Amino acid sequence: MSALKKYELPPLPYKNDALEPHISAQIMELHHDFHHKGYVTGANAAVEKIEKVVKGEVSGYDWAGIVRNLVFNLNGHRLHNVFWNNMGPAGSKGGGKPGGKLADLINLQFGSFDKFKQIYSELMKSLTGSGWTILYYDEESGKLTFTTVENHFINHIVDLPVVLLLDEWEHAYYLQYKSNRNAYLDAWWNVVNWDDAEKRLQRHLR
Ligand code: MN
């Protein structure tokens, strides 16, 4: 049996300032080094707590609180892992339009990329409070589908592979965009790494 491992904070796949001017280096640094790290630490602590309960080392524990804490931190970790890779520097890896099978599906379901962008932007801007907008691929229907996720887990569709996601928590934009979240959401299109989204889709096409 292989050894049990702890969750680890992966390095960003680019430099802190790689997404400027759309997302500032200061935001990327704090977002990754503080917020994402916090979820990794929290996920490890939650797992450790569960292990102590299993070993009978804790009395008076609260399962509802323990698992909520686990899901909050573990989903926080896993969502950010995808989020970093879903983006890239504007003009090289980021921005433009999707190609490949993702473009085919978008054209089939929405008629054009511009129509998809309009609908998806409306969805992004409809989220209230902290959360995510997520584009999934549903193998059962052969279609793209999407949702907004509140917090890190409410309204999440189970077991559908994520193609593309966007962090809409205040820590993702406030230092730069203040209360103008829509400006951040509009700017995000410039750093979308469509090649990464295509790769995630390709793993699940038959
Ligand atoms: Mn975040």
C-alpha of residue 115 to centroid of ligand 1, in Å: 27
- What's the pTM? 0.96
C-alpha of residue 173 to centroid of ligand 1, in Å: 9
Residue 133 in tokens: 């907008």
The three-class DSSP label of residue 172 is helix
C-alpha of residue 74 to centroid of ligand 1, in Å: 13
Pure H helices in the chain:
25-30, 37-54, 63-85, 100-110, 113-126, 174-177, 181-188, 194-202
| Integer Rg of the chain from CA | 18
C-alpha of residue 3 to centroid of ligand 1, in Å: 30
C-alpha of residue 44 to centroid of ligand 1, in Å: 18
**What does the pLDDT profile of the chain (206 residues) look like in tens digits?**
678 899 999 999 999 999 999 999 999 999 999 999 999 999 999 999 999 999 999 999 999 999 999 999 999 999 999 999 999 999 999 999 999 999 999 999 999 999 999 999 999 999 999 999 999 999 999 999 999 999 999 999 999 999 999 999 999 999 999 999 999 999 999 999 999 999 999 999 97
Total count of residues recorded for the chain: 206
C-alpha of residue 204 to centroid of ligand 1, in Å: 26
C-alpha of residue 169 to centroid of ligand 1, in Å: 6
What does DSSP assign to residue 169? S
Residue 160 in tokens: 């559908």
62-66, Cβ contacts within 8 angstroms, sequence gap of 24 or more: none
C-alpha of residue 164 to centroid of ligand 1, in Å: 15
C-alpha of residue 170 to centroid of ligand 1, in Å: 8
Domain map of the chain by residue range?
A: 25-85, 100-202
131-138 and 162-167 as β-strands: parallel, antiparallel, unpaired?
A: antiparallel
Look at the domain 25-85 and name its fold. Answer: Helix Hairpins (1.10.287)
With tokens 């999707």, the residue in question is 98
Distance CA 85, CA 91 (A): 16
Distance CA 161, CA 84 (A): 16
Is the separation of the CB atoms in 55 and 163 below 8 Å? no
Look at the domain 100-202 and name its fold. Answer: minor pseudopilin epsh fold (3.55.40)
C-alpha of residue 197 to centroid of ligand 1, in Å: 19
| Residue range 86-145, pLDDT digits in tens | 999 999 999 999 999 999 999 999 999 999 999 999 999 999 999 999 999 999 999 999
- The verdict on whether omega for the bond into residue 98 sits within 30 degrees of 0, i.e. cis, is no
